[in-house]
A = this chain, B = another copy of it.
Amino acid sequence: MTDLVTFGETMLRLSPPGDERIETADQYVVRAAGAESNVAVATQRLGLDATWVSKLPDSPVGRRVTGELASHGVETDIVWSDEGRQGTYYLESGESPRGNNVIYDRADAAVTTATPDELPVDRIRSASAFHTTGITPALSETLAATTQTLLEAAADADTLTSFDVNYRSKLWEPDVARETLTELFPHVDVLIVAQRDAENVLGRTGEAASIARGLAEEFDFEVTILTRGSEPALAVADGTIHEQPTFEATSAHPVGTGDSFVGGFLSQYVAGESVETSLEYAAGTAALKRSIPGDIAVVTPEEVAAVIEGGTADISR
């Protein structure tokens, strides 16, 4: 049986090597990148049996995506389509003050037309947990409806539902997002939201703890996690606040850190660990991710444990 099913878009990420610029580079490094598949990979590598569900163009470009995900052990359950393109994004990294630059080219991706009747809903119903993010309903009206249906189906089948708000300002306006999201929330058990999005999108104000408590109460989430950048993350569960500081990390490859946090959390929580333990694992996984190129947390349980124990997996010989 599958422990976790995730659903969403995975793009091909095209990046100039090193700190070269998109405009002048002659090669782009290619990687699979998607919030929900990032989570699937992280949980699979950390012990769950994960499946990523999506819709992709039936082409070598689409298979480039599933090949990379499958190399980490994730099962991919794909609607292969003759319509719709493979979404891509261009990512350029530079040191300060240049920073990172992202150019999305994801319109009309095959996944934007995915409907529940072509997706393996039964897998979601029979899985222990289901995870998706706020990116998915933002991609198309069809996907907004599909997300709603899938969450309902999962909730109906007592599959634990997890949802990362993951607001993307290039995809939709805050008020549209809020309206859509609050329709989804009643079917969500575990909510992860950045404090910034809780404020700007969900319209919350006040201290972090009171924001988390407020969301937990309003939507009756089983677990409500508020991430806060380099400040400690907060979780509310059963009315109790848990605080989890970040682990120290240089941050050569920050993209995907949030998904790694979620992946670390779910890998433990779905396996039955406590919120506290799961949060610690989330923070350890996120710290490690920051040292790893690409969007994906190519980590092992031993490495996460070493970070949590405060050590660095440095040369032992």
A70 / chain B contacts, CB cutoff of 8 Å: 70-73
- Please judge, given known A-B contacts A102-B316, A288-B97, A312-B97, whether A92 and B60 are in contact too, CB under 8 Å: yes
Measured between alpha carbons, how far is A290 from B94 in the docked complex, in Å?
10
CB distance from A62 to the nearest CB of B (A): 9
Measured between alpha carbons, how far is A253 from B24 in the docked complex, in Å?
16
- Please judge, given known A-B contacts A27-B29, A292-B98, whether A317 and B252 are in contact too, CB under 8 Å: no
What string of 1s and 0s marks CB contacts (under 8 Å) between A9-31 and chain B? 00000100111111111111111
Chain B residue nearest to A303 in the complex (CB)? B98
Some 25 contacts from A to B, beta carbons below 8 A apart, are A14-B14, A19-B292, A19-B293, A21-B60, A21-B292, A23-B60, A26-B31, A27-B27, A27-B30, A60-B101, A68-B71, A70-B70, A85-B105, A88-B88, A95-B250, A95-B252, A97-B247, A97-B248, A97-B287, A97-B306, A97-B307, A97-B313, A98-B288, A99-B313, A101-B315
Are B291 and A98 neighbours in the complex by a CB distance under 8 Å?
A: yes
Chain B residue nearest to A296 in the complex (CB)? B24
Task: Check A314 for interface membership: any CB of B closer than 8 A.
Answer: yes
Measured between alpha carbons, how far is A312 from B254 in the docked complex, in Å?
15
CB distance from A205 to the nearest CB of B (A): 23
Chain B residue nearest to A315 in the complex (CB)? B100
Are A24 and B298 neighbours in the complex by a CB distance under 8 Å?
A: yes
Task: Check A90 for interface membership: any CB of B closer than 8 A.
Answer: yes
Are B86 and A61 neighbours in the complex by a CB distance under 8 Å?
A: no
Are B249 and A97 neighbours in the complex by a CB distance under 8 Å?
A: yes
Size category, A interface:
35 or more
Chain B residue nearest to A89 in the complex (CB)? B317
Interface residue from B71, B95, B253 paired with A67 (Cβ < 8 Å): B71
CB distance from A70 to the nearest CB of B (A): 5
A94 / chain B contacts, CB cutoff of 8 Å: 291-292
Are A95 and B291 neighbours in the complex by a CB distance under 8 Å?
A: yes
Task: Check A190 for interface membership: any CB of B closer than 8 A.
Answer: no
Task: Check A59 for interface membership: any CB of B closer than 8 A.
Answer: yes
A67-B71, A97-B313 are known contacts; what are 14 more A-B pairs with Cβ within 8 Å? Answer: A21-B298, A23-B61, A26-B26, A26-B30, A27-B27, A60-B103, A94-B291, A95-B290, A96-B312, A97-B248, A98-B288, A101-B315, A168-B317, A170-B316
Interface residue from B60, B72, B99, B102 paired with A312 (Cβ < 8 Å): B99
A26 / chain B contacts, CB cutoff of 8 Å: 26, 29-31
Are B18 and A317 neighbours in the complex by a CB distance under 8 Å?
A: no
Task: Check A230 for interface membership: any CB of B closer than 8 A.
Answer: no
Task: Check A108 for interface membership: any CB of B closer than 8 A.
Answer: yes
- Please judge, given known A-B contacts A250-B96, A288-B97, A298-B21, whether A102 and B169 are in contact too, CB under 8 Å: no
